[in-house]
A and B are shown apart, each in its own frame.
Chain A
Amino acid sequence: MKRRIIASLLAVVAVIAVGPSRGWAQKGPIKVGFLTQMTGGGAAVGRDMSNGFTMYIEEAGKQIAGRKVEVIIEDTQGDPAQALTKLRKLVESDNVHAVAGIFLANEGYALAPKVDEYRIPTVWAVVSADDLTQRKPVKWAVRTGWTSSQPNHPFGEYVAKTLGYKKVVTVAADYAFGWEQVGGFQRTFEEAGGQVIQKLWPPLGTTDFGPYLPQIKRDADAVFAVMVAAMALRFPKQYQDAGLKARLPLIGGGTTFDEFVLPSLGDEAIGSITPLIYSAAIDTPVNKRFVKEFRTKYGKVPGYYAEASYSAARWIAEGAKAVGGNVEDKDKFLAALRKVEVSDAPRGPIKLDAYGNPIQTIYVRKVEKKDGELWNTVIQTFPAVSQFWKYKPEDFLKQPVYDRNYPACKYC
């Protein structure tokens, strides 16, 4: 008797182990790895990213195309080597079907060759290094964020034509993200008749702008600032304290006044104008719901880190739906990811260009105070802006990537 029970048990085990394994693999969960920084200086950004990402997955009932979704969040520690190790872990031991996330440019560049080597469908959620979708495109990756220069192309024209500033001084964090934003701005601003008369480059992480503010040429019409993280928290106040705010209006790159820093800023921020792919104040039902839900869940207003990661999750979901949940067919899944079009993301309509970068609305935003809170009120929209702006991609790509000395400062 006992033996028979054991034998039948063994048979059951054998059937489970060997029998329908193929069918099971098909119906197992869709595994998605999410890489972001959970410790160290960028941890707060990382949390916004992972919150945005999981928020979409949870709203979808943790199901995509009839299959369960499992999200594995890994900490890159803001270190490219660590990001590589975690990518290896996700692909080799967790066998994920797709990877998303990534915050820093150097992490993106470090992962890029490996992503193609693994042939793992990847969605760059936040990393905005221009060349990841320009001169060094990654076959297996698409982007749901932006290129650093993208919002600044229309903004350069806007500043020259609409705001009517003719001479601008730039003050930007001295690394690729700052260079690319200043480069994009300078190019279109000067083509529209403006002049960048001075470029100042405080090192990344500068919190005391004392040595830089007095250098600003006083015959300018405005100052274009690109600040990130701790720099963005300090700069506006010091700019005001130096008596500059009353004389030179402050404009700049999107991160200088994004929703991530606004709650920590005071009245010194009011009136500043910046462009970006998103503003929490976008007045559409979709976005209002998104902001409200995010606030209820995580206790803060979402910025573009959260929105771009939310949209990255949406992107994977739409791609998976397009292949009927069969994400194991990597080639088809990748092709589907490249074809996804979303008309109702919180930021508005998004589709990808041939290089895998979003064609999307750019919002020109002005910091205003409403009910005691600072918001980026949208004052102008540029629909369907590509990373190449009005230039032909082939011509655009012949130029070198924007850096500290390109475009050269002709009027300095």
Chain B
Amino acid sequence: MRSALFSGPPVAAIIFLLLLISPPFLSSFLLTLLTQALIYAILAMSLDIILGYTGLASLGHAAYFGLGAYSVGILATRYGAGFWVVLPLGILLAVAVAAIFGLVALRATGVYFLMITLALGMVVWGLAHRWVTMTQGDNGISAIPRPELGLPLSLAHSIPFYYFALAGFLITFWILRVIVRSPFGQTLVGIRESESRMRTLGYHVWLHKYIGFVIAGGFGGFAGVLWACYNGFVSPVDLQLATSVEVLLMVALGGRGTLLGPALGAAIIVLLKNLVSVYTHRWLLILGVVYIGTIVYAPEGIVGAVRQWARRATPGPLRSET
């Protein structure tokens, strides 16, 4: 059994409660950042499925984010499609592409997997950049309307949209939590720990990895759909390599294989990036120090470090439980 702290409901519940009641008290800029953090948290948690639970580092995860976002951009501005049309189509497109990319990428592991996902991510980026008649190239697609859900509150305002993103985040968190705690999720962890042992035990290793990869892609697409609705804009920047790397850092910073960790990492990076850059143009330096500090002092990420600390702090009998 794991230590109750940070993995169990209390901490998560407190955070969610805070997220739920705080908006009316926050400045609208902070709310903007929190909304962004929630959307990036969905993306980071989806990457955690393959990076944290399955042990496959992908450098192309922004591709699914971009596919979701571009689906919204193209369908909403060209065909005036509503949210309930673009949402499933955006996710479906990301799932379909992940299903194809998975066939190619999962032939490799380790660094080779990293390289292949990098290349595949660049393919999608190139498409966004060069297929100008569809994507408007480097200029990006602007004036994407905020979704109309038929609710009394318009999502054009920041507080309703915040709750909309929060709902998306909670649903994602809940589904992914169910997945990672299911026998399927445990199998993924087993594969991460020792692929050969799992194979010997008779598990279909490739299929498990493949399904995990596709699930991650689908939720990446979901995050992209929300992102496009939120910004009203999508451009190749959203799916470039730097975005993939940033998501990877969010997961590493928060703690791989913890779901809550990547969400926390996303929040920290979004907030740091925006709040620190207000005070200094050297904000990249500070971000760099945070990354290096994490790697040196908390290689398991923030949540990992807290868990370790909690384990050490707990007296003997409890400790033996872990």
Residues of A at the B interface (CB closer than 8 Å) are 38-39, 74-75, 77-82, 84-86, 88-89, 92-93, 105-106, 109-110, 112-114, 129, 174-176, 204, 403-404
Contact = CB atoms under 8 A, between A and B. Distances in A.
B237 A81 contact: yes
B231 interface: yes
Interface string B22-61: 0000011100110010000000000000000000000000
B82 interface: no
A112 B142 CA distance: 8
Nearest to A83: B233
Contacts of A74: 277-278
18 contacts: A38-B277, A38-B281, A39-B284, A80-B231, A80-B233, A80-B235, A81-B235, A89-B278, A92-B27, A93-B27, A93-B29, A105-B138, A106-B139, A110-B231, A110-B233, A113-B142, A113-B143, A114-B232
B142 A110 contact: yes
Given A80-B233, A85-B36, A85-B274, A176 B28 contact: no
A253 B190 CA distance: 59
A39 B288 CA distance: 13
A106 B170 CA distance: 32
Contact of B138 (A85, A89, A204): A204
B132 interface: yes
B142 A89 contact: no
A92 B32 contact: yes
Given A80-B237, A106-B140, A109-B140, A85 B32 contact: yes
Contacts of A39: 277, 281, 283-284
A355 B29 CA distance: 31
A106 B27 contact: no
A175 B281 contact: no
A81 B138 contact: no
Given A74-B278, A89-B278, A114-B232, A80 B28 contact: no
Contact of B137 (A84, A113, A176): A176
Contacts, number: 80
A82 B246 CA distance: 14
Contacts of A88: 28-29, 32
B238 interface: yes
A116 to B, nearest CB: 10
A110 B228 CA distance: 11
Nearest to A81: B231
A39 B237 CA distance: 15
B278 A84 contact: no
Contact of B233 (A86, A89, A92, A109): A109
Given A92-B27, A112-B143, A174-B130, 4 more contacts: A92-B32, A176-B137, A204-B138, A404-B132
Nearest to A78: B237
Contacts of B28: 88, 92-93
Q: Please list the 5 inter-chain residue pairs (A to B) with the smallest Cβ-Cβ separation, ordered nearest first.
A: A93-B29, A110-B233, A175-B138, A92-B28, A38-B281
User: Which one of B140, B232, B233, B284 has the greatest number of beta carbons of chain A within 10 Å?
Assistant: B233
Contacts of B27: 92-93
Contacts of A403: 132
B29 A113 contact: no
Interface in B178-210: none
Nearest to A403: B132
Contacts of B238: 81
A110 B235 contact: yes
Nearest to B270: A85
A106 B237 contact: yes
A78 B243 CA distance: 13
